[in-house]
Amino acid sequence: QSALTQPASVSGSPGQSITISCTGTSSDVGGYDLVTWYQHHPGKAPKLLIYEVTERPSGVSFRFSGSKSDNTAFLTISGLQAEDEGDYYCCSYAGSRTHWVFGGGTKLTVL
């Protein structure tokens, strides 16, 4: 069982927006602004989408955005495209004992 809880799957049609949630506790997501989001296609290296909850690295589409409320972080993808299909993972700092924890992953299907 992963430390952070994500929905197993989400889906949307091209052009729509979807949001993936990542629920933790006050010891991880809620306690630090150190949430990152990754897109992962099996067999490939994960790709960073969002860091420090809301920051988007250069080269990542503006269609990807992050936010946080209490112990839950969110990744929103707007203007869904077929190429967005894949697995999405959140990750959070969890203190000096546990260090880093990932979510269980969410499979995004573009209908």
Partner 1 sequence: QVQLQESGPGLVKPSGTLSLTCDVSGGSLSSSHWWTWVRQPPGKGLEWIGEVYHTGTTNYNPSLKSRLAISVDNSKNQFSLKLTSVTAADTAVYHCARRTIPGNWFGPWGQGTLVTVSS
46 interacts with partner 1 by CB under 8 A: yes
Nearer to partner 1, 17 or 109 (CB): 109
Residues 4-23 as x/- pattern, contact with partner 1 by CB under 8 A? --------------------
64 is a site residue for partner 1 (CB under 8 A) = no
CA dist 107 and 111 (Å) reads 12
8 A C-beta contact, residue 15 and residue 77: no
- Counting Cα atoms < 13 Å in the Cβ hemisphere of 93 gives 9
Contact 3, 22 (CB under 8 A): no
103 contributes a contact to partner 1 by CB under 8 A? yes
* Count of residues interacting with partner 1 (CB under 8 A): 27
